[in-house]
Chains A and B, each alone.
Chain A
Amino acid sequence: MCGIIAVIDRAGCPMDGTKIRSALSMMDERGSGEGAGYAVYGAFPEFADYYAIHVFFDAVHESKAAVDRELGNWGTVVHEEEVPTYENRNIRKVHTPWRYFFKPDPSLMPRSETPEDDIVMHLVMKINTTIPGALVYASGKNVAIFKASGWPEDVADFYRIQDYSGYIWLAHNRYPTNTPGWWGGAHPFNLLGWSVVHNGEITSYGTNRRFIESYGYRCTMYTDTEVVAYLFDLLVRRHGLSPEMAVKALAPPFWDDIDRMDKKERTLYTAIRLAYGSAMMNGPFAIVVAQRDGIVGFTDRIKLRPLVCGTAGSRLYISSEEAAIRTMEPGLEEVFMPRAGEPVIGRLGK
């Protein structure tokens, strides 16, 4: 389902949302007008150290007090505002997007090694499963998510993404099949620092979901992509895998390839497949995952979805179509298609 594009400026130079809007719209043929979204890292420099908790309210006066109370129980909101939106002919404000800049109180989760992240994760799961009419759709530091049901250009204009700048952008043009197009189901999916855009369908979703829920995550978005954000959070943040290793867990080598590796590697990959067999993602997918210091793009093991990369100076682009990248960046220096299951990584400062 869908078209994706992502860009990182590895030197950290900010880009505004104008070009990515054009690039994503260029791929309208890949979508159905039922969902589009953008993520931008570096969006809130003045609140960079606070969790930017984004909530869709069905009705502010009905649900907001409960959310405020939850947040108040676990920390301090230093600033909050309704996300500015600009209704157009194609998008009406069926939810009210709101953002809180939140500082958790680490003393409230004394046994955790990452108490702040754990508190925020707990809050996201709690709010999404217990407060009707409120859906937390982003919770990372210095990252903004803009998504809705509609075509990419309309969603971009609804939020005026050209008013935001950042060093990483992710964008997604949706063609839903498993679930109806709704705002929460639009990509990018975000949890803490992780944002995910995804083209394809994860046929192992049922397995992945049962796996990830056993670690306290709750799938509430009615779509397969959500688990990818949670899997990265679990594998990288909580289990300490590098992003490369996490990709190898999610799209591992085939057993016959493993059989030919030297003993050390063979043991490593055997261990990965035994430990994380339920995290392995099956089916067609091309995915880009972003976190604060970089992006990683990868496809399924037999390359059932397209993924093209391009570079220009400090910028790395990853997309479903080369034409989309060239729409953003006519002067590409290099264009390449990564191999199946092999991560393409762009790191800040490298």
Chain B
Amino acid sequence: MTIGSVPVRFRITVDGSRCMLCGRCVENCPYDVFRKESDTIHVNSRKCVACHRCIAMCPRDAISIKERPVDYRSHPVWTEEARESIYNQARTGKIILAGMGNAKPYPVIFDSLVLDACQVTNPSIDPLREPMELRTYIGKKPGRLEFRDDGDCQSLVTTLAPNLELATPIMVGHMSYGAISLNAQKSIAMAVRESGTFMGTGEGGLHPSLYPFQDHVIVQVASGRFGVDINYLERGAAIEIKIGQGAKPGIGGHLPGEKVCEDVSSTRMIPVGSDAISPAPHHDIYSIEDLKQLVRSLKEATEWKKPVFVKIAAVHNSAAIAAGIARSSADAVVIDGFRGGTGAAPRVFRDHVGIPIEAAVASVDAKLRSQGIRNEVSIIASGGIRESADVAKVIALGADAVYIGTAALVAMGCRVCGTCYRGLCPWGIATQRPDLVARLDPEVASRNVANLIHAWTLELSELMGAAGINSIESLRGNRDRLRGYLLDESIMRVLDVKPVGA
């Protein structure tokens, strides 16, 4: 008892005057916070993770949750988090596992960038009544075209590389079956098909129930090679090599055996109950020329019909790495910023390794342009895209499209409690427990995700229209339409944007 109990994180109270003892909170909480005894609801606040399932399900608004009801003595250096981590590790001697994205209060660059709009000198465009093009192609573009003179006309000699055609520059990123439930994957699949865009499988293979959506699915090849065979590669609309992830650059993944149920085992092609360990590196990639070899092996296996993407975590040297990727025959580079989500990551990585997506996209775009190879690859930005304005800003910084992850999950009910690693997601998203998975109805959830993509797409159109732009190409890399508001000069140099007023 050297350390003793630390203060509860959340204090739950049930207002007896409102509660009608329906017991929905008891049924809905997989963390066993609530217990009904005769005519009282008893609570164990210490078990609460603030997933808000009880709040959402309580018909009488009887439940309230207060965060940190007991404060530590405040201290600017020895924060609550610092102290609690020490207590935790002093007890266990283990690495602290956390969920979702970076939780340190680093400033968000997006929030210090403002967008432009037309006034007088050129007209803004009404996107509902005038043409507005958001169609985006992801893949290799020709650097220049070659023509043959056929008498009085010119015919095209250049052949186009395979590209994905997106109706909107918003895709849903890779969240594997295993990390999320099959119902969650199905919901996303239905939504992206309806929205004319794409989703990623993550490194969990492709469940047969997603085959009907395969033309909207990007299959992932990660270091564990789970579920990867020629059938899988050929089903995907594109293939993505995952090198790293923004939430945990430089380390591998580990799906614990208890999450490998019958179905997960079949798509990953590993026995039920066995750990699915994704090594930190691909063990056939220890160098850039090895990456080129994997890119080409995938193209060779699929007879050069599929675009191949390479996903890296945003790190110090992303720009140079992306330039290497652009020369590897890859068709797109995905950059995952340090706010990218995850089901589980060591906290020290989630919070301390990597760089923000805004700076990474800006430097990658600048590097590729300075080397004249921007057309060799598309840039897909991910990691902390929270709203349509972030989409507009990151495209203006140079991205072709974005992957959203957490935002899509939030659209399905996720409350960002960050406890995905427990496998008990009460929303049926980050869990494999059948009763919990059943809570997520793909018909409803897919509508929510499709609504979100639709709404952001509308907002993006409005933002573009206001800026007098009617085609997404004209926003891409258009940093003139951004201004930095109270950003320091060195960051503005990296972003290549002017300050407000300039």
Contacts and interface: CB of A to CB of B under 8 A. Distances in A.
B324 A176 contact: yes
A3 interface: yes
Contacts, number: 48
Contacts of A200: 286-287
A29 B286 contact: no
Given A29-B292, A29-B293, A175 B286 contact: no
Interface in B322-353: 323-324, 327
A175 B323 contact: no
A319 interface: no
A344 interface: no
B288 interface: yes
Question: Of residues B287, B293, B317, B371, which shows the largest number of chain A Cβ atoms within 10 Å of its Cβ?
Answer: B287
Interface stretch (A67-75, A89-97, A177-185): A177-185
A175 B371 contact: no
Interface in B302-331: 317, 320-321, 323-324, 327
Interface of A: 1-3, 29-32, 34, 175-180, 199-201, 284, 304-305
Given A30-B289, A200-B287, A284-B287, 15 more contacts: A1-B324, A3-B289, A31-B289, A32-B292, A32-B327, A175-B324, A176-B320, A177-B317, A177-B320, A178-B317, A178-B320, A180-B323, A199-B287, A304-B287, A305-B286
Nearest to B283: A304
Nearest to B296: A29
A177 B286 contact: no
Given A32-B327, A175-B327, A2 B289 contact: yes
Contacts of B317: 177-178
A25 to B, nearest CB: 15
B350 to A, nearest CB: 22
B292 A177 contact: no
Given A176-B324, A180-B323, A1 B288 contact: yes
A3 B371 CA distance: 22
Contact of B289 (A1, A179, A180, A304): A1
A52 to B, nearest CB: 31
Contacts of A284: 286-287
Interface string B225-252: 0000000000000000000000000000
Interface in B276-297: 286-289, 292-293, 296
B324 A177 contact: yes
Given A304-B286, A305-B287, A175 B292 contact: yes
Contact of A180 (B287, B288, B296, B371): B371
Contacts of B296: 29
Contacts of B324: 1, 32, 175-177
B293 A177 contact: no
Given A178-B317, A180-B371, A29 B323 contact: no
A201 B320 contact: no
Nearest to A173: B289
A175 B320 contact: no
12 contacts: A1-B287, A29-B289, A32-B324, A175-B324, A177-B321, A177-B324, A178-B320, A180-B323, A200-B287, A201-B287, A284-B286, A304-B287
The size bracket of the interface on B is 10 to 19
Contacts of A201: 287
Contacts of A1: 287-289, 324
B117 to A, nearest CB: 37
A123 to B, nearest CB: 31
Contacts of A199: 287, 289
Question: Of residues A3, A30, A177, A180, which shows the largest number of chain B Cβ atoms within 10 Å of its Cβ?
Answer: A177
A175 B293 contact: no
Contacts of A30: 289, 292
A341 to B, nearest CB: 15
B499 to A, nearest CB: 29
A201 B317 CA distance: 13
B250 to A, nearest CB: 11
Contacts of B323: 177, 180
Return the 6 tightest CB-CB contacts between A and B, nearest first. Answer: A177-B324, A304-B286, A30-B289, A32-B327, A284-B286, A175-B289
Contacts of B293: 29
A201 B324 CA distance: 13
B388 to A, nearest CB: 34
Interface string B428-457: 000000000000000000000000000000
A31 B287 CA distance: 11
Nearest to B321: A177
B118 to A, nearest CB: 38
B183 to A, nearest CB: 41
A304 B293 CA distance: 15
A29 to B, nearest CB: 7
Contact of A179 (B286, B292, B320, B370): B320
A199 B286 CA distance: 10
Contacts of B370: 180
Interface string B368-388: 001100000000000000000
A117 B370 CA distance: 39
A179 B321 CA distance: 10
Contacts of A34: 327
A192 B361 CA distance: 42
Nearest to A200: B287
A14 to B, nearest CB: 31
Nearest to A199: B287
Contacts of A305: 286-287
Contacts of A29: 289, 292-293, 296
A200 B293 CA distance: 15
Contacts of B320: 176-179
A281 B296 CA distance: 30
Question: Of residues B321, B327, B371, which shows the largest number of chain A Cβ atoms within 10 Å of its Cβ?
Answer: B327
A331 to B, nearest CB: 28
B6 to A, nearest CB: 38
A200 B289 CA distance: 9
A23 B324 CA distance: 23
A180 B319 CA distance: 11
Contacts of A175: 288-289, 292, 324, 327
Contacts of B327: 32, 34, 175
A305 B324 CA distance: 18
A177 B323 CA distance: 7
